[in-house]
Structure formats: C-alpha cells, structure tokens
Amino acid sequence: RRDDVQEVTLDVRDADPDVWDVASDVWNVAPDIRDDVRDVTLDVQDADPDVRT
C-alpha cells in the first residue's frame, strides 16, 4: 500500500534512457505517493550519461 511506503529506490545502473523517462513520469504524475515517501534514492552508478543528466 502506498500509505506504508517508507523508502523508494530507483536503480538505473546500465538503464536504457527510456526506462528512466518512464520512472520519472510515474513519479511526476503521482504526487500523492511523494507525500508518503520519506526517502528516495536514485542510484545512477555506471548509468548512461543521458540518464545522469
């Protein structure tokens, strides 16, 4: 349940830029989720340079 979310981790290592776009879009269209999320980690180690920007 979204009310119980404490932490969200988006691991985009070696991710296709399109994958990052989708994750970003989901986050942006769901502000009600953001209210309940206390910690968001974006792991972009070894990510495509386009993803890091």
Count of CB atoms within 10 A of residue 37's CB? 14
Domain around 28: 2-52
Q: Where are the alpha helices (DSSP H) in 1-53?
A: 17-28, 31-36, 49-52
What is the predicted pLDDT for the residue at 26?
Answer: 65
> pTM score, two decimals?
0.22
Percent of the chain's residues with pLDDT above 70: 0
Residue 16 tokens read as: 């296709």
Q: Please state, in angstroms and as integers, the Cα–Cα distance from residue 21 to each residue in 1, 5, 27, 53, following that order.
A: 24, 22, 10, 12
Residue-wise pLDDT tens digits, 19-31: 666 666 666 666 6
Give the residues of the chain that fall short of pLDDT 50.
Answer: 53
Domain count, the chain: 1
Find residue 9's DSSP bridge partners. 41
